Amino acid sequence: MIYNISKFKFRSCLTILFFLNTMFFLNAQPRREYNGLLQKQEESSLPKSTVSIVMPVQKARVEPVTKLIKDKDNELIITGGWLLQSANKVNASGGTISQPQFSCETWYNATVPGTVLSTLVDQGVYPEPDFGLNNLVIPDTLCRMDWWYKTNFSSPEKSQHKKAWLILNGINYRAEVWLNGVSVGFIEGAFKRGEFDVTNWIHRDKMNSLAIHILPPFNPGIPHEQSPTAGIGPNGGVLCMDGPTFIASEGWDWMPGIRDRNIGVWQDVRLKFTDDVILKDPQVITDLPLPDYSYADISVHVDIYNSDIWPKEVRVFAKIEEIEVSQLVKLEPGELREIEFSPKQFPELKLNNPRLWWPNGYGKQELYNLELRVENDTQVSDRKMVRFGIRELSYDLSVNTKDQKQLRIDYNPIRDLTENKPIINNINRKEAIKGTLIPALSDWVDESQLVTSRDTSTAPYLVIKVNGQPIFCRGGNWGMDDMMKRVSREQLEPAFQIHQQSNYNMIRNWTGESTEEVFYELCDEYGMLVWNDFWLSTQGANIDKVDQKLFMDNATDVVKRFRNHPSIAIWCPRNEGYAPVNLEKALAQMLVEEDGTRHYQGNSRYLSTRTSGPWHYMKNPAEYYTQRADGFSTELGTMSVPTAATIRSFMPLKDQWPISDTWYYHDFHKGSPEYLEDINEKYGEGTSLDDFCKKAQLVNYDSHRAMFESWNSKMWNKASGVLLWMTHPAWPSMIWTTYSSDFETYGSYFGAKKACEPIHIQMNLHDKKVVVINTTLIAYEALNASLEIIDINGKKISRKNVEVNAVANQLTECFTAELPSTLPSVYLVRLTLKDKKQILSENEYWRRNENNTSFSEFNKLGNSELVMKTIRLDGNKLKFEITNKGKTPAIGLKFNLRNTDTGKFFLPAFFSEGYFTLFPGEKKTIDVAWNTSEVNNIELAGEAYNTTIKSLPIRK
């Protein structure tokens, strides 16, 4: 669609009216907790540093050189030659700026894809905002200004006589698009693509000039700055009113206000050249005859558009590996039509013995490629490549029937959504048990046609099933991928590797903050189911006055764009609440029409789930079992201070110790008094940064293991999933995450990793039952489960072992631990699960007897004599052995790879074990892998709570 200047002026008037309405709304409404600040906080309450912030040296501008990089679907990414400047410093119209000869001498070299702030940081205008208190020197005016992006490029030689399309995959928040002096389009919302027919305006034989005018959100709000005196402050604020944008960028209790609110050209810009008939938004639907996996029916839907003024007859081809089918299509001028390839028409699309996609731990992540192309007289007019997985989602749900009875159904959208309208009504809901509501069946539904669930042990809670198998969901939330939306594959993939190594199988895309292609691609590849929210936040706390049409335009485009990713399992309208009624109806209907293969979950808590939280540190982890573990929880969290090395990487030396304002600015708040108290009581007050952090890691390990193990203890007995708030850090943080922003893995990571082992033995903290958790589809027989009690010197006090069969995807009880009546002040409970060849799981709990309140004996231990040796080095994978050759136990063993020249850790590195105990004479084999074949100047470093280890050089 082409927009002219008068429309832009009209939009500007609307903007002013919207702003005035917002101000009236804020003044008229009662003040609520999380509506944000109405004025800047007092200077005295801001965090203070003991050192001055060092401003960077601005980079000299270099002459921009644009490259067109070929990507799939014959698209060309416009990269390398972008420039940026604020509209305040550009006294010209879009028609003038988008001319090749327009001078940009005072502009910055721009980072595209990227935000305004990422460009200004990359160019040395402002310092890295995630270091120390640097964010405070970046002006909050960046989000209240218009900005211009510009680049010049030449058309490819073979573009003559072709249709030309300009594609913007993501801008924030609004954009006017100009090409060669002509306004070609307008985009609103951070998550909607812009696709414009620029055939009549692109130059084939001379330089082109593209200019993008970025307009900020209507309601940027005022960020709260965390400090010891100001506290956590409000979560977000008025930015929530703008709907489809990065609402967390106003500031939350896990991230400060991002000074540009992530505005900019945050995803790539592309050109595409086609003939007159093009393909749009294909969808692949895979249908299995569950519980049979012997074949899969593959259906392909795709929109085909004739952009010409003449009728067209074309042939459309669909190819999956060696299978190719086609059909002839006649299109009228300007006609857009959906066509389908189905097994009824094409028996070849019934695939025998398909390779299935499974979540992590349940099987492989098999993926297929579909090639679609449309030909006109043997000339390819357009093509699209689609990667998909063969899998089928279904859900065990409790619903209310017309006569107000609870019914447990096996809900399969592919099978049940036959009328092209929702069968679940989230508006008419009723409490099933205290704190949990269930939705109603829609009035038109004949409940006798639904399949009732055979398993009611998890009622009334949600159970997600893949390929007919219930998935015990464990993982965490991503509040945002990166505070400045630096979201390339290279930057994001380590996080997914860590999630896979943590044995997680689900990520919640909280309020849709991480909506880009590579996020979903990596979820597909690493087996992470996605709970995908849209852009509404906490009901009763955050404002939800949004433009429904704008919201729905963005939501519809997100669904069309990403629906082929097998990882997406849930669509959800908001964080901790229901959508407004009209928006709820629109979303529910749109998701049936545009997807029809997934469940639309009307609320992230209370509806078929338990309540959220708690998010604070709990001194007695047994309370997770007795008070928290229940149902499906989308948020559960605690404190998570990283290692000393990580803190040094994001904080000035003088702010590192003792605990300073800078700690609080980096989220050292919620639950921190109890956290500090517990560290001090158990291990003694920290005497230095290193001493405090090593003690914190033992607390982190125990707390994060307990959260997951408490849910493990009730697997399929009213418990079906738990997601941490959160696993992934958007910036360097002291709370909630299980690894640090530099991808260092510490106590929180290894505690969670241990609890989420696919085959896992544990002792429940509340009832002392020893149980085996098997979250695989493999049954294990004749296993030996043992419990040993060992004193601090390594003396074995007692032992019990039994033979067990670990049923696939189930909990198996072994025995109840019977502890001797007389126990030392400190002792270790070590659980081991073995088959005839190897240890499958080993799990350790340091305990105190009833007369002891601390582990102070750890502080009296001398150094251990620990020796590492290489067993096998294969490229970027190392197997090594650690042996305790001394007379003192080594507690909390932790390893890193280290650069021998700089002394810095080599990250990311993926170790199989961490924070375990080696008694005198014991040894353990550890595996580690890293993301490069480089082995020069790398050594293996290790330490324990009570000793350091001589490093081991890694050599070929």
Better-predicted residue by pLDDT, 788 or 233: 788
pLDDT band per the 50, 70, 90 thresholds, residue 8: very low
462/447 Cα distance (integer angstroms): 19
Q: Strand 529-536 vs strand 506-509: parallel, antiparallel, or unpaired?
A: parallel
CA nearest to 407, candidates 451, 470, 442: 451
> Please, which pLDDT band fits residue 66 given cuts at 50, 70 and 90?
very high
Q: What is the overall mean pLDDT for the chain?
A: 94
| 3-class SS letters over 371-431 | EEEEEECCEEEEEEEEEECECCEEEEEEEECCCCCEEEEEECHHHHCCCCCCCEEEEEEEE
* Model confidence pLDDT, tens digit, residues 94-121: 999 999 999 999 999 999 999 999 999 9
Q: How many CB atoms lie within 10 A of CB 157?
A: 8
Which letter does DSSP use for residue 627 in this model? I
The CA distance from 530 to 9, in Å, is: 40
pLDDT(757) > 70: yes
pLDDT tens across 321-339, in order? 999 999 999 999 999 999 9
Distance CA 113, CA 708 (A): 37
For residue 783 the two structure tokens come to 């296993």
Angle at 67 between CA 61 and CA 72, to 5 degrees: 140
What DSSP line would sit under 741-793, residue for residue?
A: TT--B-HHHHHHHHHT-SEEEEE-TTT-EEEEEE-SS--EEEEEEEEEEEETT
The yes-or-no verdict on residue 280 having pLDDT over 50 is yes
Q: How far apart are CA 30 and CA 696, in angstroms?
A: 41
Q: Report the DSSP pairing between strands 568-574 and 75-79.
A: unpaired
Torsion angle of alpha carbons 335, 338, 344, 350, nearest 10°? 130
Instruction: List, for residues 195-207, the tens digit of each pLDDT value.
Output: 999 999 999 999 9
pLDDT in tens, 768-794: 999 999 999 999 999 999 999 999 999
| Residue 496, pLDDT score | 98
- pLDDT of 955 reads 79
Residue 265 has pLDDT above 90, yes or no: yes
What share of the chain has pLDDT > 70, as a percent? Answer: 96
CA 84 to chain centroid = 29
184-207 residues labelled b (16+ CB within 10 A) or e (exposed): bbbbbbbbbbbbbbbbebbeeeee
pLDDT at 9: 44
- Check residue 34 and give its pLDDT: 59
Structural tokens at position 839: 């240890």
Contacts of 79 (CB under 8 A, 6+ apart): 66, 67, 68, 69, 112, 268
Please count the CA atoms within 13 angstroms of the CA of 202 that sit on its side-chain side.
21
pLDDT, average across residues 547-570? 98
pLDDT (average), residues 219-242: 93
Cβ neighbours of residue 743 closer than 8 Å, sequence gap 6 or more = 494, 495, 498, 907, 908
- Give residue 386's identity as a one-letter amino acid code: V
Query: β-strands 769-774, 759-763: how paired?
Result: antiparallel
> Could you count the other beta carbons within 10 Å of the beta carbon of residue 210?
26
Residue 696 identity:
A
Rounded Cα distance, 687 and 477, in Å:
33
Distance, in Å, from the CA atom of 752 to the CA atom of 636, rounded to the nearest integer, reads 13
Q: What is the 3-state secondary structure (H, E, C) of 465-523?
A: EECCEECCEEEEEECCCCCCCCCCHHHHHHHHHHHHHCCCCEEEEHHHCCCCHHHHHHH
* pLDDT top residue among 880 and 13: 880
pLDDT digits (tens, 9 = 90+) for 497-555: 999 999 999 999 999 999 999 999 999 999 999 999 999 999 988 888 889 999 999 99
CB 143 within 8 A of CB 117: no
Beta-carbon neighbour count of residue 541 at 10 Å? 18
Q: Where are the alpha helices (DSSP H) in 56-212?
A: 94-97, 116-122
Q: In this structure, how many other beta carbons lie within 10 angstroms of the beta carbon of residue 810?
A: 15
- Mean pLDDT in residue range 478-489: 97
Q: How confident is the model at residue 159 (pLDDT cuts 50, 70, 90)?
A: confident
Residue 217 has pLDDT above 60, yes or no: yes
Query: What tokens were used for 5?
Result: 């200047």
| Selection from 581, 582, 579, 530 nearest residue 558 by Cα | 530
**Phi then psi dihedrals of residue 653, to 5 deg:** -55, -50
Residues 661-692, buried b or exposed e (16+ Cβ, 10 A)? bbbbbbbbbbbbeebbebbeebbbebeebbbb
Q: 599-600 and 568-574 as β-strands: parallel, antiparallel, unpaired? A: parallel
Residue 91, judged by CB atoms within 10 A of its CB (0-12, 13-18, 19+), counts as exposed
For residues 179-187, give the mean pLDDT.
Answer: 97
Q: In this predicted structure, what is the pLDDT of residue 625?
A: 97
* DSSP 8-state class, residue 102: -
- Averaged pLDDT for residues 450-456: 92
pLDDT at residue 22 above 70?
A: no
Phi-psi region of 485 (alpha: psi -120 to 50; beta: other; left: phi over 0): left
How far CA 944 is from CA of 290, 744, 893, 894, in Å, comes to 50, 16, 4, 6
Q: Are 317 and 372 in contact (CB under 8 A)?
A: yes
Contact 653, 50 (CB under 8 A): no
Average confidence (pLDDT) over 919-924: 97
Name the amino acid, one letter, at 165. Answer: W
* Per-residue pLDDT at 559 exceeds 60: yes
Measured in whole angstroms, how far is the alpha carbon of residue 351 from the centre of its chain?
Answer: 32
Q: Which of 393, 391, 431, 433 shows the shortest CA–CA distance to 411?
A: 393
Of 772, 827, 836, the C-alpha closest to 798 is 827
> What pLDDT, on a 0 to 100 scale, did the predictor assign at position 7?
39
Q: Evaluate the omega torsion of the peptide bond into residue 173 and state whether it is cis, within 30 degrees of 0.
A: yes
Predicted TM-score (pTM) of this structure: 0.95
Cα(92)–Cα(94) distance, integer angstroms: 7
* Residue with tokens 């009334």, as numbered in its chain: 460
Q: Stretch 848-862: mean pLDDT, rounded?
A: 94
Nearest-angstrom CA–CA distance, 10 and 176: 13
pLDDT at 3 over 80: no
CA torsion 535-538-544-548 (nearest 10°) is 30
